Structure 1
Amino acid sequence: MHGNRNGSLRRWAVFVAITAALGLLVWLGWSVLRHRDLLPDVTSVTSDSSVTVGLVGAPSSLDIRTDADTAVEQALLGNVYETLVARQQDNTLSPGLAERWEVSEDGLTYTFTIRDGVRFSNGDALDASDVVWSLQQIVQHAYQGADDLTRLSEVSNPDGSTVVVTLSRPDPRLLRSLAGRAGIVYDAEADIDYGRQAVGSGPFTVGDFRTGVSIGLRRNDAYWGDQAATATITLRYYADEDDMVTALHDGDATMAVALSASTAQTLSEDPTLNVAAGQSLSKTVLAFNNDADSILSDSRMRQALRYLVDNETLANTQPGAAEALGGPIGPLDPGYEDLTGLFPHDVDQGAALASYFGTGYYNNGLRLVVQERHQDLAEAIETQIEQGGVPVTVQVLDEADYRTTIDARQFDMTIMTVTGDDTADAYADPSSFSHYTDAVAQEQYDAATSAANEADYISGMAAFARTVSQDAASDWLYSCNSYVAAKPRLTGYPTNMVESWLPLSGVTLG
């Protein structure tokens, strides 16, 4: 009896174990099909394959120190050159060449611990002295990124793995700056022609550079981190988007980056390609002329326009639009808050505010001056505003005439696409494009950008953005998408911010 009972228990235990195992396999399979987030990270799996990335707009040199062109930063930052602080695809910060850091309570001292065992592609060791030298060179020679280091007072390396940065006053954006060109660590001992060569610590080296044609990236087999998944990547530059698309269809390019919305829409109908939309740092703005002699110097008129313009509809109908905005800070920027509720589309409210001025103020209508690429959007905005009884005259100009007209301040509104991490700064500077000024907003901005820690900076920028939005300094219409098209076998490529940042170490051709 006892033996039979033990045998039954053992059989029951085996049954339960098999059932559990089968259940786990089914659950894992379903999770993989649905989410694919339970698979191991395959970016460390390498191959000898080659990938060609198509782009438009070639850099004139490889000198990332002096060349202000976004193209050289897009090609080399994160691929060949690395920074003290890194950033992720959602634009958050993470350890880079500095594996950790500490910030003093007063925000004036940053202590960075540099990773051990890092080498440049020429075999030279990277240590704290290279970091100190790089920061000094950027400041002394006014290299790209120097403007982000104006509060730097002193930099030192008490030992080979420690860098101490002392500021003259707090700068809560320092870490973000050190994730860009200001944070690049160069080899103090390298003697190269930076215009045609590069010595970095990244997952790739520059194999060859053909000015205006291509940049060849080769896997850095001595890289300190995960090896690049692909052996060689060629950045191939085309005269225009049509040529790039032709190369993609002909198989001469494996991937095309930073496509226009119209081209992305066309390619999405091609079953031989995958088209991905990512988030961009770009924002499309209906900018107001806040000059004293402009009707839009009065906040009531600006607020009327914000009620009349239907941002949600525009974001849902305009090519390239990602989501409606309600303020100067976008979804990928620190301090972002959804402010679309401040001015919900309300024709009656907009008309009531505008009626204060009477038709005599409008003359021939508010002047909406735009370039040709924004004509359709301008006409949609014209229709929306006129529903509130405010006449609008749309003037469509070529680039040269547009610039002349805008510089002469002969406009009431214009449409602009702005990009970058700090585009909200313009509303704290009365000399910037919109000529907007508000004492409260400026005080909030100054407090935020002098905060001793990042949390206070983020909350301060959010408060600044809300003030500027409530005062309707402009109408921020929508954030923009970025687009990438690739062959179906290609995986691991970035989709966010690809116009300026294109980390390629995870790209692999299956």
Structure 2
Amino acid sequence: MAQHQGRSPWRWAIFLAVAVSLFALLWVAWSLADRHVPAPWGEDVRSDSTVAVGLRDAPKSLDIRTERDRPVGQALLDNVYETLVGVDGRNRLHASLASSWKTSSDGLTYTFTMRRAITFSNGDALDASDAVWSLQQAIQQHRPGVETLGKLTNVANPDAHTLVLTLGEPNPRLLRALSGPIGIVFDRDATINYTSQAMGSGPFVVAAYTPGSSITLRRNPKYAGPDPASSQVTLRYFATDDAVAAALHKGEIQMGLPDTIDLERLRGNDSSLSIAQDNGTRTVLIGFNADPSSIFSDQRVRQATRHLIDVPAAINGRHDVATRLGGPIGPLEPGYEDLTGLFPHDSAEARSMLSYFSSQYLGTVVFLVPQEYRDLGEALTQQLEQDGAFGVDMQVVDDATMATRLTDGNYTIALTTLEGDESAGTFANADSVFRYTNGTAQRQYRDALASTNDKDYQRHLREFARTVSQDAAADWLYVSKDQALVKSRLEGYQVAMSGARLRVENLQVK
């Protein structure tokens, strides 16, 4: 008995040690199989979960260097490729591959400090020399967006961690330009086929690509930042919105970004789906054809039309409205000012202004409307025809036809959209599809582009936007929301600005 009592504590100690070890092994196995959870001894155990996202417009190729269409940037920016300057979901600039930067007082020299210990997905080191080479290639090959760099006279790297850009004249849009595809840093030693392959320094690599069908992104083991929440994210492309919805209902994808704004219809009675919305930068507007042969070349006709249209009534109940708009610059863009009060709805004032013109002179307005905005077009048509103000021939057209007819000037007015980064400049360009020209506005826009600091840049932009709005170059209606259908177990999604940059780094199914 005495001998048995003496050994008992040791036996209990051995039993407890074995039990603790087994529990720890089971815990780790569960963590690895289920989700991204830190192990008890402090190491990071990565999740092997996968996510699939449904989209409509597939990239024509993966060559983000030469492809002008937005889908390639939507898929690869921030996921596979990183830029010198980053931009967040509120369109604010922040550090990315460049950890900081300084601008000279004359606005002609930008000095960037590059992050250290960054590599491309093949293990090659990324430093300032790669940034110099990437910008030189963009300039020499005149790649899309190179004009946003302005008069760049010299690109140099005095050391591996410093990039210096010298301009011949100020360009207050340079930092924002470097947050887009023109600011991507490529590996100068890479030998890949960029049309079907991609290699950057971002959190993912392209593991598979089926043109027009899917892009499979897998975790980049060389990424310098935190591991993506999921080991694999597949972007799948569908021919119709209904096909995106069907894949969501079947659980084949966990997130869908249809083209339509009517996500309630696509969701149906599926309680596992929710609608996620956030601010976008797309402007919905009525563009006026100001060609000298058009009645909308007359300022009074344009201004009367803005008074005639009751914007709040026309857009009431629409699910995609983020912010009413009264000018060419949205709330997420530099130089924004609320200009919605300049042309309040006033039918009497509109009729008085139009009374100077005969009905024969005004004729019938050819109103182009995209298929997606048919209901809005019908509401606006009713307002334009009120009390016989205008005769309206509303023509619903597909996107390709819309683009062709705008370019050819084969329209009177058009319900159309512009992205925030192009909206203002469109009305400073007399050769745009709207044929609008105003000497004062064009001078104000040139003054903005000649600014040596952001404060002056935004001040001149506000002056320009007010001039253009008062002159009724168009009737800006609203900035639309970015929207998505999301399965209930999906976490880490960011909908804001997802039409341009679909960040999938934090996507994870719980």
- TM-score > 0.5, shorter chain as reference: yes
Task: Evaluate the alpha carbon distance shift between residue 406 and residue 204 of structure 1 in structure 2; reply closer, same or farther with a 3 A threshold.
Answer: closer
Alpha-carbon contact 2:366-2:395 (below 8 Å) kept: no
CA–CA distance in 2 between the matches of 1:87 and 1:297?
38
Report the counterpart of residue 464 of structure 2 in structure 1.
464
Shift of 1:382: 2.2
Which amino acid in 2 is paired with 1:342?
A: L
Report the counterpart of residue 96 of structure 2 in structure 1.
96
Shift of 1:482: 1.7
Q: Deviations over 1:224-260 (max 9, x none)?
A: 1222111111111122222121111111111112441
Shift of 1:366: 3.0
CA–CA distance in 1 between the matches of 2:140 and 2:365?
48
For residues 121-200 of structure 1, what are the structure 2 equivalents within 5 Å?
A: 121-200=121-200
Task: Evaluate the alpha carbon distance shift between residue 428 and residue 388 of structure 1 in structure 2; reply closer, same or farther with a 3 A threshold.
Answer: farther
CA–CA distance in 2 between the matches of 1:408 and 1:128?
44
Shift of 1:479: 1.3
CA–CA distance in 2 between the matches of 1:297 and 1:77?
40
Task: Evaluate the alpha carbon distance shift between residue 51 and residue 159 of structure 1 in structure 2; reply closer, same or farther with a 3 A threshold.
Answer: same
Q: Deviations over 1:257-294 (max 9, x none)?
A: 24411234541753111211122221111111112232
Task: Evaluate the alpha carbon distance shift between residue 410 and residue 181 of structure 1 in structure 2; reply closer, same or farther with a 3 A threshold.
Answer: closer
Which amino acid in 1 is paired with 2:143?
A: Y
Report the counterpart of residue 75 of structure 1 in structure 2.
75
SS state at 1:317 partner: coil
Shift of 1:501: 0.8
TM-score if structure 2 supplies the norm length? 0.87
Alpha-carbon contact 2:54-2:236 (below 8 Å) kept: yes
Which amino acid in 1 is paired with 2:355?
A: S
CA–CA distance in 1 between the matches of 2:220 and 2:402?
47
CA–CA distance in 2 between the matches of 1:309 and 1:210?
46
Alpha-carbon contact 2:368-2:397 (below 8 Å) kept: no
CA–CA distance in 2 between the matches of 1:158 and 1:405?
50
SS state at 1:380 partner: helix
Report the counterpart of residue 366 of structure 2 in structure 1.
367
CA–CA distance in 1 between the matches of 2:165 and 2:397?
48
2:339 is aligned with 1:339 = yes
Shift of 1:147: 2.4
For residues 295-374 of structure 1, what are the structure 2 equivalents within 5 Å?
A: 295-363=295-363, 365-374=364-373
Alpha-carbon contact 2:75-2:501 (below 8 Å) kept: yes
For residues 272-283 of structure 1, what are the structure 2 equivalents within 5 Å?
A: 272-283=272-283
Which amino acid in 1 is paired with 2:377?
A: A
CA–CA distance in 2 between the matches of 1:169 and 1:268?
55
For residues 433-452 of structure 1, what are the structure 2 equivalents within 5 Å?
A: 433-452=433-452
SS state at 2:119 partner: coil
CA–CA distance in 2 between the matches of 1:57 and 1:327?
29
Structure 1, unpaired ranges of 5+ = 1-43
Which segment is superposed worse, 405-414 or 274-283?
405-414
Shift of 1:442: 0.4
Which amino acid in 1 is paired with 2:263?
A: T
2:381 is aligned with 1:382 = yes
Task: Evaluate the alpha carbon distance shift between residue 437 and residue 155 of structure 1 in structure 2; reply closer, same or farther with a 3 A threshold.
Answer: same
CA–CA distance in 2 between the matches of 1:383 and 1:261?
22
Alpha-carbon contact 1:315-1:322 (below 8 Å) kept: no
CA–CA distance in 2 between the matches of 1:208 and 1:192?
14
CA–CA distance in 2 between the matches of 1:98 and 1:319?
38
CA–CA distance in 1 between the matches of 2:351 and 2:335?
32
Task: Evaluate the alpha carbon distance shift between residue 113 and residue 383 of structure 1 in structure 2; reply closer, same or farther with a 3 A threshold.
Answer: same
Task: Evaluate the alpha carbon distance shift between residue 233 and residue 405 of structure 1 in structure 2; reply closer, same or farther with a 3 A threshold.
Answer: closer
CA–CA distance in 1 between the matches of 2:159 and 2:491?
41
CA–CA distance in 2 between the matches of 1:452 and 1:46?
46
Which amino acid in 1 is paired with 2:362?
A: Y
Shift of 1:409: 3.4
SS state at 2:176 partner: helix
CA–CA distance in 1 between the matches of 2:93 and 2:265?
32
Which segment is superposed worse, 157-166 or 272-281?
272-281
Report the counterpart of residue 409 of structure 2 in structure 1.
409
For residues 25-40 of structure 1, what are the structure 2 equivalents within 5 Å?
A: none
Shift of 1:398: 3.8
Q: CA RMSD in A?
A: 2.0
SS state at 1:482 partner: strand
CA–CA distance in 2 between the matches of 1:64 and 1:92?
22
Which segment is superposed worse, 384-393 or 97-106?
384-393
Shift of 1:349: 1.8
Matched residue count: 466
SS state at 2:350 partner: helix
Which amino acid in 2 is paired with 1:392?
A: G
Task: Evaluate the alpha carbon distance shift between residue 443 and residue 193 of structure 1 in structure 2; reply closer, same or farther with a 3 A threshold.
Answer: same
Q: Deviations over 1:310-358 (max 9, x none)?
A: 1112222345333321011112221111110111112222222222224
Report the counterpart of residue 217 of structure 1 in structure 2.
217
Alpha-carbon contact 2:155-2:163 (below 8 Å) kept: yes
Task: Evaluate the alpha carbon distance shift between residue 129 and residue 421 of structure 1 in structure 2; reply closer, same or farther with a 3 A threshold.
Answer: same
Which segment is superposed worse, 95-104 or 223-232?
223-232
Alpha-carbon contact 1:375-1:396 (below 8 Å) kept: no
Shift of 1:114: 0.1
Alpha-carbon contact 1:448-1:458 (below 8 Å) kept: yes
Task: Evaluate the alpha carbon distance shift between residue 449 and residue 264 of structure 1 in structure 2; reply closer, same or farther with a 3 A threshold.
Answer: farther
CA–CA distance in 1 between the matches of 2:75 and 2:386?
47
CA–CA distance in 1 between the matches of 2:126 and 2:409?
51
CA–CA distance in 1 between the matches of 2:360 and 2:283?
33
CA–CA distance in 1 between the matches of 2:162 and 2:503?
27
CA–CA distance in 2 between the matches of 1:279 and 1:45?
34
CA–CA distance in 1 between the matches of 2:441 and 2:346?
26
Task: Evaluate the alpha carbon distance shift between residue 262 and residue 101 of structure 1 in structure 2; reply closer, same or farther with a 3 A threshold.
Answer: same
Which segment is superposed worse, 323-332 or 261-270?
261-270
User: Percent of aligned pairs with the same residue?
Assistant: 45
CA–CA distance in 1 between the matches of 2:303 and 2:377?
18
CA–CA distance in 2 between the matches of 1:69 and 1:137?
20
CA–CA distance in 2 between the matches of 1:401 and 1:189?
43
Report the counterpart of residue 113 of structure 2 in structure 1.
113
Task: Evaluate the alpha carbon distance shift between residue 401 and residue 214 of structure 1 in structure 2; reply closer, same or farther with a 3 A threshold.
Answer: closer
Alpha-carbon contact 2:128-2:159 (below 8 Å) kept: yes
Alpha-carbon contact 2:98-2:114 (below 8 Å) kept: yes
SS state at 2:352 partner: helix
Which segment is superposed worse, 394-403 or 77-86?
394-403
Task: Evaluate the alpha carbon distance shift between residue 104 and residue 477 of structure 1 in structure 2; reply closer, same or farther with a 3 A threshold.
Answer: same
Task: Evaluate the alpha carbon distance shift between residue 401 and residue 56 of structure 1 in structure 2; reply closer, same or farther with a 3 A threshold.
Answer: closer
